[in-house]
Chain A
């Protein structure tokens, strides 16, 4: 059946309008639930940096939110290390709402830097770990995560990574618990107090004796993703130095 051009155009327009309406309706209806799910996921990752991910995953959403409220307090700092208390619209600044990806596109001096402080419930002054969001480029697309530093502000307490498009089985392995655990107790500072880079090396199954405190065993076949991870961690460790100098009590390291 051969239809006229007018018929085809009108048909296409109506179809587009109907399908478009359907989609925008769905997005409106599902929006709040999606926001909640995303929020929960971020909080899970933050908690995952200071406790085993299995433990976090075994909890119900309500338990996670309650735990998060108990043990995490957050602030937002600017590049000079000063605390920002109001957002662009004049409302209170909430660290969980800072979009690290959007900030990543600004120059480093203009970014907002959220800090999540982990402490025992009710002991907000006795910080046990500083959790920093990190963001960077992997091989194919964005990678991000949360890095928890011990109170000496030098060594890693735990780390969680996420990625958008790394190769399954190769670069995507950064999200495996075993790979993330390789960072635990590695440090950004050498015995002379100088900041050195903490890098994931090329090649896998390197003996611990060969790696030392500033090198992390690599992922075979995923050196380019590892390079992205290295740049991300070292950059963000650098960005937070001003905040650490001004606000974090480095002396607390002995307590830890």
Chain B
């Protein structure tokens, strides 16, 4: 009995719910390790859905939901998942969550469902999701994994919302569908058609990456 107690690790003081280490899970992906601008993952949906703020917002919330819960579930099961089939297990979990999101949208936000349905389905293949599962959730505890998912989701969200903001205001003169230029009396605002096409997203995203890397000094190796 005495040997047993010796092998027991000294009980660590309980880590605070949002300790410094855990805060980093959330703050890191916002800037220094942003999934879109630094890891260059999830570009496809960043280009496709960002013509207007509203669908972008729905997309962002959906991705955060899928990321948090897939990270959580995989992390809970991490010691049960057979190593040889782990990818397909991850895929099954992600696909289930994505289908749930799609069904909920169909029931309660039909207009958004019509507009986004294809892209919601493609969250399954969003590299950020599988990337976080492989890199983090399989080796970390559930709570930490959920935080990591939330961080990556927020990092993804603020970038696509920023892209959508510039595309909507330049492309259609609106923010969340509200005509800002008309509101301040600029009735002759000429919308830029380039911003509505996917090319506009490339340009805006490129500029965001440029500005960000100039500030952080990040260089690709």
Category for how many chain B residues contact A: 20 to 34
Q: How far is the CB of A223 from chain B (nearest CB, A)?
A: 18
Neighbour of A27 across the interface among B92, B93, B103, CB < 8 A:
B103
Q: How far is the CB of A179 from chain B (nearest CB, A)?
A: 14
Does B39 make an interface contact (CB < 8 A)? no
Q: How far is the CA of A169 from the CA of B88 in the complex (A)?
A: 35
Q: How far is the CA of A11 from the CA of B107 in the complex (A)?
A: 32
Does B42 make an interface contact (CB < 8 A)? no
Q: Which residues of A contact B114 (CB under 8 A)?
A: 41, 162
Q: Which residues of B contact A2 (CB under 8 A)?
A: 83
Q: How far is the CA of A81 from the CA of B118 in the complex (A)?
A: 38
Q: Which residues of B contact A103 (CB under 8 A)?
A: none
Q: How far is the CA of A23 from the CA of B101 in the complex (A)?
A: 11
Pairwise interchain contact B110-A38, C-beta atoms closer than 8 A: yes
| Size of A's binding interface in residues, CB under 8 A | 25
Q: Which residues of A contact B89 (CB under 8 A)?
A: 11-12, 15
Hey, what's the 0/1 contact readout for A11-33 against B, CB within 8 Å counting as 1?
11001100100110011001001
**Total A-B residue contacts, Cβ distance less than 8 Å:** 61
Interface majority SS on A: helix, strand, loop or mixed?
helix
Q: How far is the CB of B178 from chain A (nearest CB, A)?
A: 14
Q: How far is the CB of A115 from chain B (nearest CB, A)?
A: 25
Does B196 make an interface contact (CB < 8 A)? yes
Q: How far is the CA of A7 from the CA of B79 in the complex (A)?
A: 13
Pairwise interchain contact A33-B107, C-beta atoms closer than 8 A: yes
Pairwise interchain contact A3-B110, C-beta atoms closer than 8 A: no
Neighbour of A3 across the interface among B83, B99, B103, B108, CB < 8 A:
B83
Pairwise interchain contact A16-B108, C-beta atoms closer than 8 A: no
Q: Which residues of B contact A7 (CB under 8 A)?
A: 82
Pairwise interchain contact B96-A30, C-beta atoms closer than 8 A: no
Does A165 make an interface contact (CB < 8 A)? yes
Does B24 make an interface contact (CB < 8 A)? no
Closest to A2 in B: B83
Q: A3-B82, A26-B100, A168-B51 are in contact. List 5 more A-B contacts (CB 8 A).
A: A3-B84, A12-B88, A19-B96, A30-B107, A168-B198
Q: Which residues of A contact B93 (CB under 8 A)?
A: 19
